[in-house]
Amino acid sequence: MADEAGGRSMHLIGGRRVRVSDLVDADLIKRGERLRFTRSRIGATYDATVTGEGRIRLEPDGEEFRSPSRAAMVAAGMRAVDGWHAWQVVDQDRILDAVRQELLDRAISTAAAAVNRQNEDLERQRIHARLRAARSHADERNPERFSVRELLALWGVTERGDQVSQIETDLANHGLVTSPSFRAVTLDTVVTLTTPPDEMDESAAAGRTEMDNLPTAEDDEGEDDLNVRLTVGNLSPLSGVESVGPNSTLEEAITKMLLNDYSQLAVLSGPRTLRGAVTWRSIAEAIHRKPGASVADAIDSRVEDVPYDRDLFEVLPMLQQRDFVFVRNETNVVAGIVTTADVARRYGELATPYFQVGELDQTLRWILGRSFDVESIRPYCNRQVESFDQLTIGDYQRVLENNNAWEQLGWPLDRSVFIGRLNTIRDIRNKVMHFHPDPIQEDAVEKLRQFNRLLHQYRGLA
C-alpha cells in the first residue's frame, strides 16, 4: 500500500498540476472546508467551500470550479488572479498554496523513504528542491534569474520541445512563473523566476501599464490549452537596443550605425518612451533639407512597437511595410528590435532541416523502389504496405537492418554504422516534424546534409 501511495505521489508531482481534489484525497483539506478571498484594498470578501470531489463552491450562488484561479476570477469579477494565493483556508489560517506545498513535500518524502526508488524519483526530488529554493527567493523579493537555456537545463533539456508542458506544470505547482514568459523569447533571453501578481482587475485594462505586461497565473481549468506560437520575442533577446536621444547629433547617430552595421536606431526619451527612429534614408532626407540637421530633424515617427509575446505572423505586414519593429519587454521597456533580415534568417533555420528531411525521405524511397519490390519488403514493415509511398523512415530502417536486403543493395559501406546514423536521423526528423519552436542545432542540420550527400553518392549503385 505504501508503494502504491509513493508511486501515486510521484506521478502527481511529475505528471500534471496539483488540483484541490489531490489535497482532499491526501486529507490535507476536508470536505466542507471554508475558503475566503479577501481584497483588503477595496474591502471586499468572497467565501467558498470545498466539495468532496475537490471542487470550489462559491457562496451564495453555489457555482463550482475545479480551478482555484477560475473560482477567484468569477467570484471577484476579475480578469486574472492566482487563486492558489488568493484563497485562504479559514480554519487552517494559511493560503491554499501552502497546503499545495505541503502535499509536494509529503510526496517527495514518501518517495525518498522508499527502498527501491527509481532514478526518475531522484530527478524529481532534485527539481522539487531546486524550485522550492527558487520559490523561497521569490517570496523574499530576491527572485532568481536564468537564461532560458539555463532554465531548461534544470530539466536536463536543451530546447523547448515535448517537455515544455512538464516544465510549466512544475513551475505552476510551486507557484512560480517566468517573467518574461520563457516560451515567447529566445533561448539566451534572461528570465526571472517569480510569483504571479496578486491582483489584476478591470481597472488596469483601461491603459497599458506595467501590470498589464507582468505574467499572470494560468487558469488551470484549461491547463491543456495548446500553445505553439512563434512570437516576436522568439527572434529578439530583449537585451536592449542601441539608441540616441532626440537632442543627439547626427554624427553620434551615424557613428553608432556604422560601428554596429545598423540600418536604423531607436530614438528614446527614456527606456519606455519611443520617439521614433533614425534610418539612413531619414538622415539623408534631413541633411538634404537642412545641412546642419540634428537627430530631431531626422526622426521618423512612423515606427511600430509591439509587445514581446505578440504573434510573429500578426507582425509580418508591419515588417513588410517598415522593414523593422521595436519590441517591448514584460515591463514595457523598449528592449529589442526585429527586422526583415531576422525573420528571413529564422524561417531559414526552420525550413532548412525540413527540406533536408524531405530530400532524404524521397531519396531513400527512390533507392528502395529501384532495388526491391513491395512484396519483398512488406515482411519487414510489420504492417500492410501497398506502395513505396507509404513507407516511413522507420520502415526504411527496418528494411536496411536486414542483412539480406543490405547485401542486395551492394553498397561498400558498414551496415551497422549506416543504420546507427539513420536512427539518429529518425530522431532529428521527429523533432523537425513536431515543429518545435527552437531551431534544430547546427550539428543536426549538418548530419542531415552529410547523409543526403552519402545517399546521392551511392544511389547510382541501386
- The predicted-structure confidence for 362-386, as pLDDT tens digits, reads as follows 999 999 999 999 899 888 887 788 8
HSE (CB half, 13 Å, CA atoms) of 59?
A: 13
Confidence of residue 458 (pLDDT cuts 50, 70, 90): confident
pLDDT above 80: residue 351: yes
Q: Which amino acid is located at 27 in the chain?
A: D
The winner for highest mean pLDDT among 113-127, 251-265, 340-354, 373-387 is: 251-265
pLDDT of residue 206: 37
The residue whose grid cell reads 523574499 is: 140
pLDDT above 70: residue 38: yes
pLDDT of residue 392: 87
Q: Among 3.40.50.300, 3.40.50.2300, 3.10.580.10, 3.30.420.40, name the CATH number for the domain at 234-332.
A: 3.10.580.10
Sheet of 94-95: strand order equals 64-65, 56-58, 44-50, 34-39, 87-89, 94-95
The domain segmentation of the chain, as residue ranges, is: 4-222, 234-332, 344-461
Smallest CA-to-CA distance from 418 within 458, 380, 384 is with 458
Asked, as a colleague might, if the bond just before 412 is cis with ω within 30 of 0, I would say no
Residues constituting the chain: 462
Q: What does the pLDDT look like over 259-306, one tens digit per residue?
A: 999 999 999 999 999 999 999 999 999 999 998 999 999 999 999 999
pLDDT of residue 232: 94
458 vs 108, residue with greater confidence: 458
The winner for highest mean pLDDT among 77-86, 222-231, 244-253 is: 244-253
Q: What is the mean pLDDT of residues 320-326?
A: 94
pLDDT of residue 198: 62
pLDDT of residue 124: 79
Q: What does the pLDDT look like over 170-224, one tens digit per residue?
A: 999 999 999 999 999 999 999 999 998 765 444 333 334 433 444 444 455 544 4
203 vs 128, residue with greater confidence: 128
Contacts of 408 (CB under 8 A, 6+ apart): 371, 372
HSE (CB half, 13 Å, CA atoms) of 396?
A: 23
pLDDT of residue 452: 94
